[in-house]
Structure 1
Amino acid sequence: MNLVIAEQFGRDHPFARHLHGFLTDQKAVAADVTRVLNSICSRRPRKDVPLDRLRDRVLFETIYMCGSRAAEACGLDIEDFDLRQDDEHLRIHGKGGTVRTVLLDDRGYVALLKLYLARIGYHFGPAFRASINGTGGPLSYDAAHHRWENYCEAAGVEIDIHQLRHAHATELINVGVSIEVVRCRLGRASTETTQLYTLLADAEIRAARRRCDRRRAIPTQDQSQRQRLSAGSSTPKVPGPRSGQVRSGVGQDTTETGNQ
């Protein structure tokens, strides 16, 4: 078990065992999640992408980016999204009537979410409505689970819908977010803990996102530098004339003509 988890909670603590399961679960890795999401549609979808596929992409990415339970995401209303510039948040209604506020810190996700909300044209009510009754009730958990399984099969990846939430927790801890903040974001903290950490969590999540973005940018910079060096080394250098030596060409021909 992770030493930090064991020291903070003890090896037999229920949350410690649960979190250890998050970290040791190798199936729900970020690359596989991204692969499935991209099989649904791009983060910059074409205008002709069917609305139900755009809905599914936003729904499953909401589960992944916010660490929400699938049932919680299916039950979200449009009013739960607060998309004020640079302070975007989501209000999630959890078990036992609890409500937690989650920072929406990924610019690409927020842009996709705004595009989806503009496409559906609704200003209140269920955010993810069933295709068969698009003007009515929300997509059911069973329907969402079935659709996720189909997308995973098409992408050749085996990830249970619950593992989206696991992968999110793993990513946060791997970039240095504290266990209490992760616990609060996943809705596994007590009411008192949630109230205590809500403000601290936003600052910590933003800092973690910046660290993660920098890590992703470093390989790109190194690759660009290697490409420049490779291009420079592949161009043969022609040595210039030594001092006092007559260059071949027009000047040499002129000199020989003058001697004649």
Structure 2
Amino acid sequence: MFEPGLEPEASPSPELQALLRAYLDHLAVERGVAANTLSSYRRDLRRYLAHLAATGRTSLDGVGESDVTGFLGALRAGSARHPALGASSAARAVVAVRGFHRFALREGAVADDVARGVRPPSAPKRLPKAVGVAEVEALLEAAGADGSPRALRDRALLEVLYGCGARISEAVGLDVDDVDLDAGAARLLGKGGKERLVPVGRFAREALAAYLVRGRPALVAHGSGGPAMFVNARGGRLSRQSAWVVLRAAAERAGLDVELSPHTLRHSFATHLLDGGADVRVVQELLGHASVATTQIYTLVTVERLREVYAAAHPRALG
């Protein structure tokens, strides 16, 4: 149950381990939880069960709300074995524990949900990182500089990330049939399997057209072919890790001394739209956010920029 190097101070009872396996199976099969999220929940819940075992709990019957809050306190305080978790990581762990207890109640393993009153800690709002339009343009130019099949692919990939606000998983998950260049639209498969239709701007359309005509055929010739839009040198679907390499290489060639990730381009997409006067709810739809509250974080970026311009330009700003 526990991998080498992750053995807790006290081992959970077989009963609790079986319940954890059942819950993780439920998340994977019935809820369709993403693999990365499932891995995080598994790690958080193993630590929770180790915490319960250390206090002598062999089942959830004797667990109370104080055990859950005690676990939260231990997460925030840390130990010689486990570093202290920040608010966002601790909040994720509490969400996992609350879901585990709800599942136990629904399965009849307990008579009460003792975790329902425990609230996750509030993570501080952090402004998304974004880069300026000039930096993005330099990055895009550097990506397709030599006109080779790979360069055409790299330029098209980065144009989609920035021009469509796509997540990296959405971009590498694109199939050729998901993009209609004549209509200027692309179908993205987002979190939770939700599809959304996004516009594809002129620069991205031109980059994709060049790649589809002069780049992709040369790359897929080395493989068996397939539906993937972005392919590697062997003709298979480009991975997320390879997309990171593409971005880093383009940033280095462009001489950009800023921290960049594929998500930076998504943040920049949203920030530049709002700077240009786009309505926050339109940006929400383009990003595929379930709640407008998530998108509104980007408005803090534009307000901060306005504040900086005001402080630098207004004669009485510093008075």
- Report the TM-score when normalising by structure 2: 0.47
Match of 1:59 in 2: 157
Which one of the candidate residues 138, 148, 155 is aligned to 2:247?
Answer: 148
**Relative contact order, higher structure (CA 8 A, sep 6+):** 1
Match of 2:301 in 1: none
Could you list the runs of 5+ residues in structure 2 that have no partner in the other structure?
1-121, 293-319
Distance, in Å, in 2 between the alignment partners of 1:54 and 1:146 is 15
Q: Secondary structure of 2:262's partner?
A: coil
Per the TM alignment, residue 167 of structure 1 is displaced from its structure 2 partner at its CA by 0.4
Which one of the candidate residues 285, 290, 305 is aligned to 1:189?
Answer: 290
- The answer on 1:130 being equivalent to 2:232 is yes
Are residues 182 and 17 of structure 1, via their aligned partners in 2, closer, same or farther at CA, if it must alter by over 3 Å? farther
Equivalent residue pairs, number = 161
Are residues 124 and 89 of structure 1, via their aligned partners in 2, closer, same or farther at CA, if it must alter by over 3 Å? farther
Distance, in Å, in 2 between the alignment partners of 1:110 and 1:71 is 20
Per the TM alignment, residue 61 of structure 1 is displaced from its structure 2 partner at its CA by 0.9
Distance, in Å, in 1 between the alignment partners of 2:226 and 2:209 is 14
Q: Secondary structure of 1:182's partner?
A: helix
Distance, in Å, in 1 between the alignment partners of 2:202 and 2:170 is 22
Match of 1:41 in 2: 144
User: 1:96-245 to 2 correspondence within 5 Å?
Assistant: 96-104=192-200, 106-119=201-214, 120-121=216-217, 125-131=227-233, 133-134=234-235, 137-157=236-256, 158=258, 159-189=260-290
Distance, in Å, in 2 between the alignment partners of 1:34 and 1:185 is 21
Distance, in Å, in 2 between the alignment partners of 1:17 and 1:99 is 28
Per the TM alignment, residue 36 of structure 1 is displaced from its structure 2 partner at its CA by 1.2
Per-residue Cα deviation, 1:94-138 (whole angstroms, up to 9, x for no partner): 11110000012x32321221121122248960000011x12xx21
Q: Secondary structure of 2:152's partner?
A: helix
Are residues 67 and 128 of structure 1, via their aligned partners in 2, closer, same or farther at CA, if it must alter by over 3 Å? same
8 Å CA contact 1:79, 1:124 repeated in 2: no
Per the TM alignment, residue 28 of structure 1 is displaced from its structure 2 partner at its CA by 1.4
Match of 1:10 in 2: none
8 Å CA contact 2:178, 2:187 repeated in 1: yes
User: 1:6-25 to 2 correspondence within 5 Å?
Assistant: 17=125, 21-22=127-128, 25=129
Could you list the runs of 5+ residues in structure 1 that have no partner in the other structure?
1-13, 43-47, 194-260
What letter is aligned with 1:172? Answer: L
Per the TM alignment, residue 81 of structure 1 is displaced from its structure 2 partner at its CA by 0.3
Distance, in Å, in 1 between the alignment partners of 2:246 and 2:181 is 27
Match of 2:188 in 1: 92
Q: Secondary structure of 2:140's partner?
A: helix
Q: Secondary structure of 1:90's partner?
A: strand
CA-atom RMSD, angstroms?
2.4
8 Å CA contact 2:159, 2:207 repeated in 1: no
Distance, in Å, in 2 between the alignment partners of 1:88 and 1:34 is 21
Distance, in Å, in 1 between the alignment partners of 2:264 and 2:163 is 12
